Structure 1
Amino acid sequence: MAPKNRLLKKGNKSAFIAAIVNTIIAIIKGIAYFFTGNVAMFAETMHSLGDAANQFFVFIGSALSKKTPTERFPNGFGRLVNLVLLGAVLIVGIMSYETIKEGYQHILHPTQSTGILMNLSVLALAVVLEAFVLYKAMKEVIHETHLDAKGLAIVPKSFTALKRAKPATKLVFMEDLVATFGGIIAIIGILLSHYADLYFAEGMASILIGLMMFYVVGRVFLDNAKGALGEADDDFEAEIAKYIYTNSEIRDIKTLYAMKEGEDYHIEMKLEIEPSLTVAQAIDIKERIEGKINEMKGVTDVIIEFEEDDGIQAWK
């Protein structure tokens, strides 16, 4: 049991916090929908249920991806988090369909819901909680990408750095961003329905929330399909190349690949060196470069090959 507990502690913290918060929110929204029958509240209940389930699977997947390589799986389990996320988006996809379908039915047959104070209070509370989780995810993005930002500066910088965040953190960020705005849309729909007698507005809000959920499904699916196949990180390759050229013995980089496997990086490179270097000197250079790259965030494996400089510049 102890090894399993240690493994779970390595799971993505943002996903764990988001799963707990969204479970609480889903229960509260579900109770409000039961008493009021509000279709916008139904959409938000489905949204929070989908997010909670999704983020729970993400937490488990991110923890399992940290398992030590075995004889059967010598390359480790880094890509497991991508596979889990590909499965998890199916849950959100089903929830999205149900949300849109319910909203469409309400537009065709609009009815007046009751309990506006309960609905608005629950949604306002949900927006605050979702915004809190979103801000935590933003801070996690800043931490994972090694940026320096505090206070409100975290918000804009987290958007620009999102591409380089871990898959699990990226999913939590996107889901809670949509959830926060979804709650605001639901509030607007309820207000229009109650005060302007536009009963179809709740159905429109439900459809908009469902479409935003589908957007998350599409983005997460594409990102993790790339991760499962093994996507090269151009920005990280450029960062490594910049360090490589600080070593005066290196004349050229013939090939350099930074393959992202889940939350980890597998680095392969072929470097050209001076022909006059001895084997012992080449080994020292190799160990120095390997040691430095292994210190970089997320790197788990480095493979370096040397060739004599051919005088033709390959790396641009």
Structure 2
Amino acid sequence: MAHHHEHEVKTKKSLITTMFLNFSITAAEIIGGLFSGSLSLISDALHNFSDAISIIISYFAMLISQRENNERMTFGYKRAEILAALFNSVVLVVISVFLFKEAYIKFFNPEPINGAIMIVVALIGLLANALSVFLLKENAEENLNIRSAYVHLLSDALSSVGVVIGGICIYFFKIYWIDPLLTVLIGIYIIKESFEIINESVSILMQGTPENINLEIVKREIEKLPNVKNIHHVHVWQTNDDDVHFECHVNLKDDVKVSQSKEVMEQIEIVLDELFDIHHVTLQMEYECCEDVGLIKKVDDTIN
């Protein structure tokens, strides 16, 4: 528990640090973009600004998610981070589409750009973005909320690399169309990464079965237990990245007392814990009660 708390404190400090870094980069790149006339530099500044906002959202979502559950919010506030991840990713997509439009205009109406200013400012941004990415990388795989902020920062680091390359091409070769082209390429990558997070966030919010859990395998493993005839009406869902919930009806082979079914319940919980990393389990023990013993209970939408 102490280790988990220390981990959370470290994550919060990393978020605060990256937030200040990104606000600083934003100011520098907007000024540099206006003086140099570089769209990709201004687009990078917009990305950095959105990063700072996304980090603020991620930070407060983390705080909210740690609030204790209550009678109204019995599952707690864990999905605050999922909502933050979804929001941040949608914002990234919207920004990318806006920049596509600006790049289209700039591509057919190129304007002179000061490549030297573009390179210097982009290098400063790249260093700050690289540091921000490093600070959040450790937690990005474990937490969808942090990953959404991480993708923001990673996209900006790549954007800064693109701006540096573009600045070199403009300064030495006067290839002005490289600026909007790089904007589009970076935008495509950002949209790809964002849609992955959007897809995962929506799946959790829609209470979809986690991708790493195969219900047929779960059923097979539980039904190997000596006193279990079958399981049916199974539901598996997540409240956030970590917490997976499982519920089902368990049809026993014998009509035993409720007190005797406790041992079977414990055996099922061990199977779910050790094989599938599921720790929140609700079981309805029964004996030949349900006519429908399918793995999933089909919802009857027929209107009489």
TM-score, normalised relative to structure 2: 0.74
Tell me, yes or no, if structure 1 residue 258 matches structure 2 residue 257. Answer: no
- Letter of the structure 1 residue corresponding to residue 170 of structure 2: S
1:226 & 1:26 partners in 2: Cα distance? 33
Deviations for 1:31-86, whole angstroms, at most 9, x for unmatched residues?
A: 32243232221111111111221222122123313322232333332333333333
2:209 to 219, 232, 247: 232
Residue in structure 1 matched with residue 53 of structure 2 by the alignment = 53
Identity of aligned residues (%): 17
Deviations for 1:97-148, whole angstroms, at most 9, x for unmatched residues?
A: 44233323322222222251x4323323433443444345443255x3xxxx
- Letter of the structure 1 residue corresponding to residue 171 of structure 2: H
Tell me, yes or no, if structure 1 residue 304 matches structure 2 residue 268. Answer: no
Q: Structure 1 residues 98 and 234, CA, compared in 2 at 3 Å: closer, same or farther?
A: closer
2:170 & 2:62 partners in 1: Cα distance? 42
SS in 2 for 1:70: coil
Gapped runs of 5+ residues in structure 1? 1-7, 145-165
2:13 & 2:276 partners in 1: Cα distance? 17
Deviations for 1:280-314, whole angstroms, at most 9, x for unmatched residues?
A: 2311342465478679999674211223489xx97
Q: Structure 1 residues 293 and 277, CA, compared in 2 at 3 Å: closer, same or farther?
A: same
Q: Structure 1 residues 179 and 294, CA, compared in 2 at 3 Å: closer, same or farther?
A: same
TM alignment of 1:138-177, pairs within 5 A:
138-141=137-140, 144=142, 166-177=143-154
Q: Structure 1 residues 186 and 292, CA, compared in 2 at 3 Å: closer, same or farther?
A: same
Tell me, yes or no, if structure 1 residue 223 matches structure 2 residue 222. Answer: no
TM-score, normalised relative to structure 1: 0.72
Confirm or deny: 8 A CA contact 1:175 1:216 kept in the other structure.
Answer: no
| Alpha-carbon shift at residue 258 of structure 1 (Å) | 2.5
TM alignment of 1:1-316, pairs within 5 A:
16=16, 18-114=18-114, 116=116, 118-141=117-140, 144=142, 166-236=143-213, 244=222, 248-263=226-241, 264-275=243-254, 278-287=257-266, 289-290=268-269, 301-308=280-287
2:19 & 2:286 partners in 1: Cα distance? 50
Q: Alignment RMSD, CA only?
A: 3.9
Gapped runs of 5+ residues in structure 2? 1-7, 296-304
Aligned residues: 287
- Letter of the structure 2 residue corresponding to residue 221 of structure 1: I
Confirm or deny: 8 A CA contact 2:115 2:170 kept in the other structure.
Answer: no
Confirm or deny: 8 A CA contact 1:29 1:45 kept in the other structure.
Answer: yes
Deviations for 1:201-242, whole angstroms, at most 9, x for unmatched residues?
A: 112222333333333443333332222221211424568668
